A and B are shown apart, each in its own frame.
Chain A
Amino acid sequence: DAKTTQPNSMESNEEEPVHLPCNHSTISGTDYIHWYRQLPSQGPEYVIHGLTSNVNNRMASLAIAEDRKSSTLILHRATLRDAAVYYCILRDVFINSGYALNFGKGTSLLVTP
């Protein structure tokens, strides 16, 4: 699977939107973009995934650039509970028939009251 690049850390104020960027310039046409997050003292938690079109769910939105070389996870209104490490992961389901996620270092999000 291709590699992703994320900022080491970001900071946000509570109740404000947060845009978490991810660069994946070597993404292939069949790579899906997945986001997971890991709250302190917990295992990772699935957030959202997409291929080409923007995606929304109850947790977040995923905005994918037209050339797919970058994407942005959007938390519409950050809460203290959103403080976590956010991982952007590419997964080619056609080549990799199973799960072997490459988590990378992720972005540590700090939310301040």
Chain B
Amino acid sequence: KAGVTQTPRYLIKTRGQQVTLSCSPISGHRSVSWYQQTPGQGLQFLFEYFSETQRNKGNFPGRFSGRQFSNSRSEMNVSTLELGDSALYLCASSLAGDHSNQPQHFGDGTRLSIL
């Protein structure tokens, strides 16, 4: 069974640009979450989508947005990139419905570097 796939694995952008990252969840999983990981702040929750609707949102500015498609694939977009956006962006999927304890399965992330 294929795991969570994130593309691209590495990305270099400059300040002010925008970027779109892609995540393909495990087949059958309907919940997709995004996290940002930096050395200083650790792993921080960005947002979660379930059945094409944003179900949870972390404490990030509006420059960070996402969406989920009918096949559960998800994208996240960051506009007006800042140096501090340099991070590993992780996607996780789950079989979960509401109030479920199904585990999250993570991809290996997209490493975004801002110059």
Once the chains are docked, how many angstroms separate the CA of A96 from the CA of B48? 12
In the assembled complex, which residues on chain B have CB atoms less than 8 Å from the CB atom of A102? 45
B15 at the interface (CB under 8 A from A): no
Q: A43-B92, A91-B101 are in contact. Are A98 and B56 (CB under 8 A)?
A: yes
Q: How far is the CA of A104 from the CA of B105 in the complex (A)?
A: 18
Which residue of the partner chain, among A49, A91, A100, A105, contacts B48 with CB atoms under 8 Å? Answer: A100
Known contacts A43-B90, A91-B101; decide if A100 and B56 are in contact (CB<8 Å).
yes
B43 to A98, Cβ gap below 8 A? no
> Taking the complex as formed, is B58 at the interface, i.e. its CB lies under 8 A from any CB of chain A?
yes
Please measure, in the bound complex, the distance between the C-alpha atom of A101 and the C-alpha atom of B56, giving whole angstroms: 10
Task: Count residues of B near A (Cβ-Cβ below 8 Å).
Answer: 28
Stretch of B66-74, B78-86, B106-114 with 4 or more beta carbons under 8 angstroms from chain A: B106-114
Interface residues on A, range: 20 to 34
Provide the bound-state CA to CA distance between A104 and B35, in Å.
13
Q: Is the interface of B mostly helix, strand, loop or mixed?
A: strand
Question: B103: which of A41, A42, A49, A93 is its contact (CB, 8 Å)?
Answer: A49
B108 touching A98, Cβ below 8 Å = no
Closest B residue by C-beta to A43: B106
* B50 contact set on A, CB distance < 8 A: 98
Closest to A45 in B: B106
- Residue contact B43 to A99, C-beta cutoff 8 Å: no
- Interface residue A44 (Cβ < 8 Å from any Cβ of B): yes
Q: Decide if B48 touches A43 in the complex (CB within 8 Å).
A: no
A15, chain B: closest CB distance, angstroms: 27
Inter-chain contacts of B109 with A (CB < 8 A) = 43
Q: A42, A91, A93, A103: which contacts B43 (Cβ < 8 A)?
A: A103
Residues of B within 8 A of A (CB): 4, 31, 33, 35, 42-45, 48, 50, 55-56, 58, 90, 92, 94, 96, 98-101, 103-109
